[in-house]
Structure formats: C-alpha cells, structure tokens
Amino acid sequence: MQDKMTFQFVSEPGDVNFGGKVHGGAVMKWIDQAAYATASSWSEGYCVTVYVGGIRFYKPIQIGNLVKIQSRIIYTGKSSIHIAVDVFSRKITGKSFEKTTHCVIVFVSVDENGKPKDTKQWMPDTERERNLEQYAKRLNELRKDIEVEMEPFLKEYL
C-alpha cells in the first residue's frame, strides 16, 4: 500500500499533436494511469475516476523527452481518494526536470458490484502534507459550488 508513486518513460512519436508536441490527451491519460495505480494500491482494490479538476498545462512536452509523473494522495474521504499529480519533463541529455502539468484527480474505491466501499484513511505526516490536505478540502468545496452553478444546465441532458 503506497500513498505516492513515480512513473518515468520517454514520450513517443505516437503521442504527437498537430503542433509537434505531446498531445494534451496523452498527458491526461498518463495522469489517470498514475493516479489509478496510486488509488488502487492504497485501497487494495478497484477504483474509478470520478473527477479530474483544474488540470493546468504549464509547458509543452517535446517528443523524445523523458517524462516523470508523480502522484500522491492528499486526502481521503469515506470512499474517495484525492490525488495530486505533477508531470515533469526534460531532454534525455538534460540534467533537471521542469514541471509541465498539475492537476487533482479523485477516485472512488468500489466493490465487485461497482458500489462505493470504504477506503483506509490517509493521515498527513508533514506540514507540506497537511497543506496539501487543506488544498484538497478547499478544492472539494469549490467543486460543490461549481456543481450547484452547473445544475440548471445539466438537468436538460440528464
């Protein structure tokens, strides 16, 4: 059971967008995969993505760059697991990584019938982790406000 993970790999030509850089959709897929591995490892079972929020692309990733994805649990609810994901890249011959993307993604631990099940509670140990937990709680409140704002528009499609 891990509360954080790091993935590293080389971006490939198949990840290219029309501008010659790594496609944002590929980055989003990597974020989901890294966060899923973290959530499922923590819950020791299957988890589903329920929210991806505030994804922020800072810099493009070049094809052929070394990519590093760091995911860490920053808060757990009854069945939810909130994970911060940071994406970094550098030239293969480079010395230091630059942050290219950040987001928070929320998973829910589910049972064999797809129903939410309780997950172990994550407890912050350091001041940085306590700050990240508060960040997750603030984002959770903002999401509730956004849902209220969107409700009249979603009703016509649900």
User: Which residue from 131, 69, 130 is spatially nearest to 105, judged by alpha carbons?
Assistant: 69
Q: Count how many domains the chain has.
A: 1
pLDDT single digits (tens) 85-139: 999 999 999 999 999 999 999 999 999 999 999 999 999 999 999 999 999 999 9
**Which CATH number belongs to the domain containing residue 89 in this structure?**
3.10.129.10
Per-residue pLDDT band at 40 (split at 50, 70, 90) = very high
Task: Indicate the pTM of the whole model.
Answer: 0.91
Q: Which residue range is the domain that position 144 belongs to?
A: 4-155
